Chains A and B, each alone.
Chain A
């Protein structure tokens, strides 16, 4: 008689997964949202885009900017081998972010630190708010 040991072997993992989904809803959720997750912020001078992309270097991705959109695309490759457990996501990704502020396309800069990409887009002169002095009569 041949017993499929594979299914027995998977049991602790499957149990662990169900347990974690019930008691720790935050786990595995990150992979289900659009990849990469981003934060967008601004101050008076710049628009900032932060993206969480662990394991990627600037060379592994393409960042394109047009007057309207910012496109981040690339591929995340995982090491080859016999996987004992696999939870990290891999493959080709693309994210298009619409910008509704005029930015100085030629002076956009990008940097990467601890797996977080930061793009700084200086606002074009015309979109920096100007204070209008109001005279009260």
Chain B
């Protein structure tokens, strides 16, 4: 039984989700398109400096529905990121809304830009 489950997992098409990364003074915002992925099917793992995002997209088909045209389907979103040392990886925040995963990766205080005061003499 457990072998069967693994098999179906492997059969799902792997999709690398389109990702935007925006840098601010305090950290990095990441936006990842994960249409069809619900909260329970999303998995984010951070191990040392590697972050893995996995999500299963559910099929949109309704019971009894016959497809006439299909341009997208079910699949598994997988993407692996190397997190820079300047990120405080213990405080990564995630929010899933309308099929977009928003991640905030705060910078460690030492990495934040400092203003240098210039004095006149």
Contacts and interface: CB of A to CB of B under 8 A. Distances in A.
Given A27-B16, A83-B20, A40 B64 contact: no
Contacts of B33: 54-55, 88, 115
Contacts of A78: 20, 31
A24 interface: yes
A44 B99 CA distance: 30
Given A26-B13, A82-B23, A40 B67 contact: yes
A interface, size bucket: 35 or more
Contacts of B66: 41-43
Nearest to B58: A114
Contacts of B36: 52, 114-116
A55 B29 contact: no
B75 to A, nearest CB: 9
A47 to B, nearest CB: 8
A88 B69 contact: no
A122 B10 CA distance: 37
B53 interface: no
B69 A87 contact: no
B99 A116 contact: yes
Interface residues of B, number: 37
Contacts of A37: 71-72
A73 interface: no
Top 9 A-B pairs ranked by shortest CB distance?
Answer: A115-B99, A54-B99, A115-B35, A37-B71, A81-B22, A84-B21, A41-B65, A87-B18, A50-B60
28 contacts: A27-B16, A30-B15, A31-B18, A38-B69, A39-B60, A39-B61, A40-B67, A42-B66, A48-B65, A50-B60, A52-B36, A52-B99, A53-B35, A54-B33, A54-B99, A57-B98, A78-B31, A83-B21, A84-B22, A84-B28, A86-B20, A88-B31, A89-B18, A114-B36, A114-B58, A115-B99, A116-B99, A118-B60
Interface of A: 20, 24, 26-28, 30-31, 33-34, 37-44, 48, 50, 52-57, 78-79, 81-89, 112, 114-116, 118
Given A30-B15, A89-B18, 6 more contacts: A26-B15, A39-B69, A54-B35, A82-B23, A84-B28, A88-B31
